Amino acid sequence: MKSFLLITVAFLFLFTSCGKKAEPVKVGELNEYKDPAFGFKIKYLKEWKNFGEAGKAIFTKTQEVVNKFLDPRTGEEGAQITVQVIKYAGSTAEDVIQLGKEELTQTWQNIQIAPDEKINVAGKEAVKIAYGIPVTSKKQISGYDIYVAGDTAMYKLICLGYGDQYEAHAEVFSTMINSFELPIIVAKKSDQWSPSGNMETYKSDFFTILYPDNLEFNTVKKAAKDDFAMEMRADRLDCTIRIDVFGAQKLTVDKVWEQNKGRYTSKAIGKIQIDGQDTYWADYSPRKEISSRVYFVVKNDKVIRTTINYFSAQKDVYFPTFENMVKSLKLK
């Protein structure tokens, strides 16, 4: 850790000593952002804007600053903070952090990454990973990623500064991080949620499924190699049903299951039929108090993977709803 800090200091001294040092940016009036999809909150400088989207908010002064971090040959020097929601999808918190480190080394050459540091964010223990990225002979991008584990997703805060803008925005970074709030998931008691008796049909190119009309749709992105992804939830953010479709590569459902079952620490496994097709399922627990079941079925050389998540203490409320939805699947 000490050697990394010495190297970082050396870089900063070398890169900033050739010109006038940027003045520290003072924290003035702040606006508050509440993510419409995941419910997290964070405050940001009034003169900044959000250049991201639901689930991945990017706060900075101009689009040109964003461009500079994407391609250092273009854009305007500055600083930015990103808050990204990463759903566990069967992975552990440690898996998500390790993947983040690998993405850093794959994206940037000669990056210097410091050892993990334990800090406290939003009242929870978090992991901070600092790094330096040389981008020219005189300048580097300095920054750090902070991973805050939520109930059903990881919240990743990315603080970046180009050249001496990193040091100049130190107070901005700390103020925004201290303002970050995880979404509050409230379990209803006296007015407990129940599925609507009115059913709607969701149609896609790969399947149709019946669902209670009081479920809400979540905005999700499909993986690069997938053909399709969708997700719905009940009243709680941790009670969801997600369906992903991807190529089976001419494999049978038995082969697909053999390739994928190792990804889950299964508490129980089984085999049923969905729309006349053999289907494998596995129960597992991605997080404390959260239970999940995943289903794998193959039709027309496409894998339809359905994942349901629910609050373990109220299994009798949520699990039957999602299970009945799975049973209603009609494959194309």
The size of the chain, in residues, is 332
- Options 3.40.50.410, 3.30.460.30, 2.170.190.11, 3.40.1000.10; which CATH number does 199-331 get? 3.40.1000.10
The three-state DSSP-derived secondary structure of 232-244 is EECCCCCCEEEEE
Query: How many CA atoms does the CB half-sphere of 68 hold within 13 Å?
Result: 23
The mean of the pLDDT values for the chain is 90
The three-class DSSP label of residue 321 is helix
Cα(205)–Cα(189) distance, integer angstroms: 39
Per residue in 45-62, pLDDT (tens digit) is 999 999 998 889 999 999
Q: Give start-end residues of each CATH 3.40.1000.10 domain in the chain.
A: 2-179, 199-331
Share above pLDDT 70 across residues of the chain, in percent, rounded to a whole number:
92
Residue 91: per-residue pLDDT: 86
**Which of the four pLDDT bands, split at 50, 70 and 90, describes residue 112?**
very high
Helices (H), the chain: 2-16, 63-70, 93-107, 165-168, 170-179, 253-260, 315-327
Contacts of 198 (CB under 8 A, 6+ apart): 212, 213, 214
The three-class DSSP label of residue 23 is coil
**Which of the four pLDDT bands, split at 50, 70 and 90, describes residue 15?**
very low
Per residue in 215-270, pLDDT (tens digit) is 999 988 888 889 999 999 999 989 999 999 999 999 999 999 999 999 999 999 99
Residue 183, both tokens: 């979404």
H or E element at residue 269? strand 268-274
- Going by C-alpha positions, the residue among 180, 204, 211 that lies closest to residue 299 is 204
The three-state DSSP-derived secondary structure of 43-96 is EEECCCEECCECCEEEEECCHHHHHHHHCCCCCCCCEEEEEEEEECCCCCHHHH
The three-class DSSP label of residue 297 is strand
**Range of weakest confidence among 104-108, 147-151, 179-183, 195-199:** 195-199
Share above pLDDT 90 across residues of the chain, in percent, rounded to a whole number:
78
**DSSP label at 181?**
B
Mean pLDDT for 104-109 is 93
Q: What CATH architecture is 2-179?
A: 3-Layer(aba) Sandwich (3.40)
pLDDT of 190 strictly over 80: no
Per residue in 262-306, pLDDT (tens digit) is 999 999 999 999 999 999 999 999 888 999 999 999 999 999 999
Residue 198: per-residue pLDDT: 86
Residue 54: per-residue pLDDT: 85
- Going by C-alpha positions, the residue among 242, 84, 63, 229 that lies closest to residue 153 is 84
